[in-house]
Structure 1
Amino acid sequence: MSFEEKTLKSERIYEGKVVNLRVDTVELPQKKYSKREIVEHAGAVGILAVTEDQKIVLVKQFRKPIEETILEIPAGKLEAKENPAECAIRELSEETGYTTAKVKKLLEFYSSPGFTNEILHIYLAEDLQEGVAHPDEGEYVETLHMSLDDALEKIAKGEIKDAKTVIAVLAYKNMLNMI
């Protein structure tokens, strides 16, 4: 059985700086029809940065959609045709001041494919050099450092619940276990 949905009509509802919204009319298997509300997103990167003393670099920031200040790895949206590794290096510097000459891709994943095409690329950054953060206008972040064990404990207690951060920390732990 084929699970594919054929798009019959696509209507752009909203075009924004970060996301676009469209409604697609689709033909389902067995000649049934439905509408799909789709959030289009250019994609993003997340950076699991590890200091020389093995501390994970996190940022604390307020997130309006959930009305909470949360802990997360540095991250940001890809610009048009931007290389994800270059975006990771740029975002790390902007949000934390740390720079590095190289990053290593850990994994990529879809944030929530039921309604968005957003893909997140997660990178590991090591060999960090300290610098001064220069966040985007309107972006307010505080940089924190935490051991892997403390981050895992905060995940277990529900104190870190940002998906990209949870995934990145667990992927990093898994990578270390394989060495």
Structure 2
Amino acid sequence: MSDRGQRDPLEEVELTSEMVFDGCLLKVRRDTVGLPDGKEGVREYVRHPGAVAIVAVLPDGGLIFERQYRYPLRRAFVEVPAGKIDPGEDILACAIRELREEAGYEAADWRHLGVMHPCIGYADERIELFLARELRHVGNALDEGEFLELLTLSPDEAEAAVHDGRITDGKTIAALFRALPLLRG
């Protein structure tokens, strides 16, 4: 629906829906949809519970990053702390939990930066972006089977790492893009 209560002329309407795969994290669906021209089409997509990503600012202005192995691409990536939203979990509560578990920090100041949709062509995943300041180290509590290295980059170093290809993770780039104007005043 548009702001005037009219249906979007590009909207596709679900006619039927079936579960193709029901995994631990991901669910794959195949829907038959009514297209804007009155014909039918098929849409396959991944259902994802959503996630958070946090730009965490240390007292000296440095930003916390993680280096974590990502199996689908068979290599380690540099990314901001992030994690999956549990069923019924508030997004801020998730961000607080993930920063504590993965990086070992608590923050006194939180700001929601917005949302990004990383793969709109084949998934319903959303990632809620946060800025965390006034950090206090409390020690991490990684999930079983989770392995990562922490590193710190200045905002300028992080931006340069995006431009030179050392940071390619979409949620990290989006979170930095939203946070950098605030970090630079």
TM-score bin, normalised by smaller chain: over 0.9
Q: Report the Cα distance in structure 2 between the residues aligned to 1:92 and 1:176, rounded to whole angstroms.
A: 19
Match of 2:62 in 1: 55
Match of 1:148 in 2: 155
Quote the sequence identity (%). Answer: 37
Segment drifting more, 14-23 vs 52-61: 14-23
Match of 1:132 in 2: 139
Q: 2:95 aligns with which of 78, 88, 96?
A: 88
Q: Is 1:73 the counterpart of 2:70 in the alignment?
A: no
Q: Is 1:26 the counterpart of 2:33 in the alignment?
A: yes
Count of aligned pairs between the two proteins:
178
Deviations 1:90-123 (A, max 9, x none): 0001001111234210111111111111111010
Q: Report the Cα distance in structure 2 between the residues aligned to 1:169 and 1:20, rounded to whole angstroms.
A: 29
Q: 1:175 aligns with which of 178, 182, 185?
A: 182
Q: Report the Cα distance in structure 1 between the residues aligned to 2:95 and 2:171, rounded to whole angstroms.
A: 14
For 1:29, what is the secondary structure of its paired residue?
coil
For 1:153, what is the secondary structure of its paired residue?
helix
Amino acid at match of 2:93: E
- Per the normalisation by structure 2, the TM-score is 0.92
For 2:95, what is the secondary structure of its paired residue?
helix
Residue segments in structure 1 that go unaligned for 5+ positions in a row: none
Q: Report the Cα distance in structure 2 between the residues aligned to 1:81 and 1:30, rounded to whole angstroms.
A: 37
Amino acid at match of 2:129: I
Deviations 1:134-173 (A, max 9, x none): 1111110111111001001110001100011111112111
Q: How far 1:174 moved relative to its partner?
A: 2.1
Q: Is the 8 A contact 2:116 2:174 kept in 1?
A: no
Segment drifting more, 147-156 vs 28-37: 28-37
Match of 2:11 in 1: 4
For 1:99, what is the secondary structure of its paired residue?
strand
Q: Report the Cα distance in structure 2 between the residues aligned to 1:31 and 1:146, rounded to whole angstroms.
A: 52
Deviations 1:16-45 (A, max 9, x none): 221111000111112221110110011100
Q: Report the Cα distance in structure 2 between the residues aligned to 1:135 and 1:167, rounded to whole angstroms.
A: 24
RMSD: 1.2
Residue segments in structure 2 that go unaligned for 5+ positions in a row: 1-7
Q: Report the Cα distance in structure 2 between the residues aligned to 1:173 and 1:46, rounded to whole angstroms.
A: 14
